[in-house]
Chains A and B, each alone.
Chain A
Amino acid sequence: MDCVVTGGNVKVLAKAIHSLSRIGEELYLEPVEDGLALRSVNSSRSAFACFLLSPLFFQRYQAASDQSFRCKMPIKSVQAVFKSLASLDRSVEKCRIQLNSEKSRLTITLHCKHGLLKTHNLSFQDCESLQAVFDKESCANVLQAQPRLMVDTVLHFPPSLDEVNLSVSSDRVWLRNHVEDDADSLRAMMTELCLSSEEFDHFAVGTQTSVTFCLKELRGLLVFAESSGLPVSMYFDEPGSPVILSVTDSVLEANFVLATLSEDSHPKNHVNSDTKHPDTEQPPDDFMSDDMDSFLIAMETSELPGPSHAPASPPRPSNNRKHSFSEEEALAEGPPNKKFCSLFFGSVLPTSSQLPNQTMQSQEVLASDSEDENQTETS
């Protein structure tokens, strides 16, 4: 693998990495034909982000010679390479990312002004491909706004706020902080913002709905979007299906996939601000019971989006360490009462031609590596 980024794109790359660091602690790197995929997932698997940098983003792009190279490394190590973010565009002329396979090191070289050369040899771990299953096209609701609008809206919520609720009707959008239905709700401060459809560049509401998701992870994308000036698109459906935030331009595509609370008895219409408190939140704990089954069904029926293409290599059974989410995949067949975190993932990239049940079988193969995880969650 040998890629070269020049000029302003070095800063974009650095910002993408910083943005991913708001999601998870590890950076998953996978050079594919379509471009370089940089991904991250949070520890509870309720948030996933992927930046796909197309070959045009680079001055030179050469994916790995053995097509299945992928690795992960602590994201802090990569952030350290791009530490002085503010001065990056002034000081760095070129950034080169190469795989040194003999030494198992990823070498990132920054060619700076005045002839200064910074070389970082980072160690990495082999890993399975990390790809959440999601399909933007099948979402009933699509909004697109300038990043400034979203940043200004989100500003009204305290940085410590975890979850936020987004409700849409045919001509309006409400954003409010989500409050648990317990004693605290009496003391909680409720904040609600209402935006008219006119504020959006694109407003297509198929079904009036209300979804709740984590705000913290969203902020990571907003920081990137604001600096790039690109509009942010939101794709969402009913509660329980993830909300997808997307930023795209000709050379890159960023998708942030955030799980939403699924509330079976939650009224779909949250139009009136009178009914502020969602009634009956069924889950006793914070995160929802997860609609694993319906998600797997969605896998069957929907097309996987572009970036998920990967060579149809069979799963590599044993050369990687135990991964917690491969265990979770194995548990997928069990009752869906896990946190909504573990929902999205296909542990090994299935190609669209693979049948879902084959995928399940291959997941089983993976599971056999780990210790007998037959403490299948039962609540």
Chain B
Amino acid sequence: MPLSTQSQADIDQYILIASLDNARNLSNILKAISFRDHAIFNATQNGLKVTVEDSKCLQANAFIQVGVGGQLTSFKTQSQVCVCTALRMCYNGYGYPLTLFLEEGGVVTVCKINTQEPEEPIDFDFCSTNVTNKVILQSDSLKEAFSELDMTSEVLQITMSPSHPYFRLSTFGNSGNAHYDYPKDSDMMELFQCTKIQTNRYKMSLLKPSTKALALSCKVSVRTDSRGFLSLQYLVRNDDGQICFVEYYCCPDEVEEE
């Protein structure tokens, strides 16, 4: 395929080369987190991590395994990436644009996107040892709930408890309030580890973008830590069976402990 006609010399100048045969998966994942204009791309040996942040309260990360060659590098660029069938992403290093080679049906499109200084992504300091409550649900049941959520509510309240109501999503809108309860023994509940009752509210506007990632995913893990910070991790399995992760961190609006 035409991408392979790049000469070795061309390839050597890049510090990062990431290749995908089918870029649609990347495209979908990126769309799932592109709620802001800019994203931070972080490439490691393990793959590509793309980070988008909003108002210091919300952070979304997408982890994509791509064939990666090159060194550790990080840059910031436009998050709206247009991709078609085959993609090679190349980066010369600091100051250079991100070069995308897109190939479809023998036609190669070269796209250069300017890069900027990346800011340090916020460290939400969310570590597994601090996790108070954790559930893993099959996404289907959450998808329906999220599509029905009352958008006139400013917050989404999440209650997690070792006893009833176990896992509850609540909204407080113009017409009244609504609660979606998932019992711990539901067959949609793959894992239920709640140590103490916690109720936290998160701004609906911050969580709304996560529904895109939810739509792509097959499973989601919901965790809260002792401060009430929320971590949503979505497992996305693409057509080739490859697994990608998208995670959202969100800080609480208020902390209520019952």
CB-CB < 8 A to A115: which residues of B? Answer: 182-183, 185-188
Who on chain A is nearest to B183 by CB? Answer: A115
B148 to chain A, nearest CB (A): 5
CB-CB < 8 A to B243: which residues of A? Answer: none
Complex interface residues of chain A between 305 and 348 (CB less than 8 A to chain B)? none
Are B175 and A119 in touch, CB under 8 angstroms? no
CA gap between A115 and B181 in the complex, in Å: 8
Q: Which of A91, A118, A121 contacts B176 (CB 8 A)?
A: A121
Are B175 and A91 in touch, CB under 8 angstroms? no
CB-CB < 8 A to B240: which residues of A? Answer: none
Who on chain B is nearest to A119 by CB? Answer: B179
CA gap between A74 and B148 in the complex, in Å: 17
Interface residue B103 (Cβ < 8 Å from any Cβ of A): no
Interface residue A266 (Cβ < 8 Å from any Cβ of B): no
CB-CB < 8 A to B187: which residues of A? Answer: 114-115
Q: How many residues of A contact B (CB 8 A)?
A: 21
Given the known A-B contacts A80-B148, A91-B144, are A114 and B186 also in contact in the complex, defined by CB atoms under 8 Å?
A: yes
Are A120 and B176 in touch, CB under 8 angstroms? yes
B239 to chain A, nearest CB (A): 25
B140 to chain A, nearest CB (A): 9
Complex interface residues of chain B between 172 and 194 (CB less than 8 A to chain A)? 174-183, 185-188
Are B179 and A116 in touch, CB under 8 angstroms? no
CA gap between A77 and B181 in the complex, in Å: 19
Given the known A-B contacts A83-B148, A84-B148, A114-B187, are A119 and B178 also in contact in the complex, defined by CB atoms under 8 Å?
A: yes
CA gap between A91 and B176 in the complex, in Å: 23
Who on chain B is nearest to A81 by CB? Answer: B178
Given the known A-B contacts A84-B147, A87-B144, are A114 and B176 also in contact in the complex, defined by CB atoms under 8 Å?
A: no
Interface residue B195 (Cβ < 8 Å from any Cβ of A): no
CA gap between A123 and B176 in the complex, in Å: 6
Closest 4 CB pairs of A and B: A77-B175, A115-B186, A122-B176, A117-B181
Could you list which residues of chain A lie within 8 angstroms of chain B, going by C-beta atoms? 73-74, 76-77, 80-81, 83-84, 87, 91, 105, 114-123
Between-chain CB contacts (< 8 Å), 23 pairs: A76-B175, A80-B148, A80-B150, A84-B148, A87-B144, A91-B144, A114-B186, A114-B187, A115-B182, A115-B186, A116-B181, A116-B188, A117-B179, A117-B180, A117-B181, A118-B178, A119-B181, A120-B177, A121-B176, A122-B175, A122-B176, A123-B175, A123-B176
